């Protein structure tokens, strides 16, 4: 049974440019990919007692599953092997239809399950795409939200708050425990020096670099529109464009409400998180006009009004508790070394 030799996982915060990188990598003659599969999330995240909801009792289902696995000779390892068998069957079917040798699964929210994915597929290649978190916030606001009116609370779905707060934490933990097949790419490098960045990534993935990959829209290669991922810029361009890397400044200063939210988000992550992701916290303070954090930066969870995730009732109280604990932990870790092993 394959342990991931034919798999590449591309993981990031949503709205970090993952569709762009996926389009470029899809131009490699050995790589096949399809929209965003999401197929590993349910079987791996479902083992967690908290963070999922269902019409039946999810917590009770986890307890029953654990009891069942405890009666098996292989215990939890049997479950891991079963998930490997299930996912291998799906990935192999996709590859067989393409005639290629590698399948790229670009599902940003696999940031929740990196540890589990490593257990299931220890020989898979992992690409972690990092982007300035403020740019991610700007893209989320511009794509999925609307500006509130004066004095109105800023409604933000819980899954988007996870993308903003939980994703950086998960990505940093993954970078703290790098695998031998890991690679790190910064979105800013991808847009400013695409050929150099992709050539370096290909070497890290043990693949030949083909310069034509950069022109992902040339010759009609960009005609197929995927159901998930970016639906705008990637299809409007033929190659990476530098202007997107700095658009967040214009977006986050386009209204007082969004500037306040940007300041709150900067403070919520703190210099430790920004530094470990490879970004200069102080430069962003200056851009947002922050002189005194306590005075100028509101509390993030008081600035936003959390609402249920997309088409889901969810358990908002427990998620709010998680968000508060995460922000408090970020505040305690003010300055940490940059973690960019296997990076660009």
CA proximity to 118, closest of 168, 69, 174: 174
pLDDT number for residue 313:
58
Mind spelling out the 3-state secondary structure of the chain? CCCCCCEEEEEECCCCCHHHHHHHHCCCCCEEECCCCCCCHHHHHCCCCCCCCCCCCHHHHHHHHHHHHHCCCCCHHHHHHHHHHHHHHHHHHHHHHHCCCEEEEECHHHHHHHHHHHHHCCCCEEEEEECCHHHHHHHHHHHHCCCCCCCCCEEEEHHHHHHHHHHHHHHHHHHHCCCCCEEEEEHHHHHHCHHHHHHHHHHHCCCCCCHHHCCCCHHHCCCCCCCCCCCCHHHHCCCCCHHHHHHHHHHHCCCHHHHHHHHHHHHHHHHHHHHHCCCCHHHHHHHCCCCCHHHHCCCHHHHEEEECCCCCCCCHHHHHHHHHHHHHHHHHCCCCCCCCCCCC
**What tokens appear for 132 in the block?**
């300035």
Give the residues of the chain that fall short of pLDDT 70.
146-153, 219-220, 222-223, 310-314, 337-343
pLDDT number for residue 342:
63
User: pTM here?
Assistant: 0.91
CATH topology (fold) of 7-332: Rossmann fold (3.40.50)
What pairing do the DSSP bridges indicate for beta strands 125-130 and 7-12?
parallel
pLDDT number for residue 217:
83
Residues across the chain: 344
pLDDT number for residue 223:
66
pLDDT number for residue 20:
95
- Domain residue ranges in the chain: 7-332
CA proximity to 161, closest of 303, 338, 20, 329: 303
**What tokens appear for 294 in the block?**
């306590």
Q: ∠252-253-257 over CA atoms, to 5°?
A: 75
């Amino acid at each position: 049974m394959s342990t991931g030799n034919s798999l590449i996982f591309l993981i990031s915060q949503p709205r970090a440019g993952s569709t762009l990188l996926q389009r470029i990598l899809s131009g490699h003659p050995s790589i096949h990919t399809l929209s965003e599969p999401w197929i590993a999330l349910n079987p791996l995240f479902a083992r967690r007692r908290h963070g999922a909801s269902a019409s039946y009792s999810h917590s009770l289902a986890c307890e029953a599953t654990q009891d069942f696995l405890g009666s098996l000779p292989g215990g939890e390892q049997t479950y891991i092997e079963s998930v490997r068998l299930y996912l291998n069957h799906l990935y192999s079917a996709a590859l067989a239809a393409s005639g290629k040798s590698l399948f790229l699964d670009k599902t940003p929210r696999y940031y929740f399950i990196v540890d589990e994915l490593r257990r299931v597929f220890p020989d898979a290649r992992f690409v972690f795409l990092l982007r300035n978190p403020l740019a991610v916030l700007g893209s989320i606001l511009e794509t999925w939200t609307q500006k509130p009116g004066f004095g109105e609370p800023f409604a933000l779905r819980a899954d988007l708050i996870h993308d903003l707060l939980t994703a950086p934490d998960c990505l940093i933990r993954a970078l703290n425990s790098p695998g031998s097949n890991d690679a790190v790419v910064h979105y800013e490098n991808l847009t400013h020096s695409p050929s150099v960045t992709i050539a370096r990534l290909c070497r890290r993935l043990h693949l030949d670099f083909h310069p034509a990959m950069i022109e992902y829209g040339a010759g009609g290669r960009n005609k197929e529109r995927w159901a998930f991922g970016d639906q705008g810029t990637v299809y409007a361009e033929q190659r990476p464009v530098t202007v997107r890397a700095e658009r967040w400044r214009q977006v986050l200063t386009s209204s007082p409400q969004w500037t306040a939210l940007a300041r709150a988000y900067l403070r919520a992550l703190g210099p430790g998180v920004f530094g470990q992701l490879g970004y200069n916290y102080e430069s962003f303070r200056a851009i947002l006009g922050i002189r005194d954090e306590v005075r100028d930066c509101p509390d993030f969870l008081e600035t936003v009004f959390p609402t249920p995730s997309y088409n889901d009732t969810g358990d908002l109280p427990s998620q709010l508790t998680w968000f508060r604990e995460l922000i408090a932990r970020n505040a305690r870790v003010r300055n940490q070394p940059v973690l960019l092993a296997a990076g660009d």
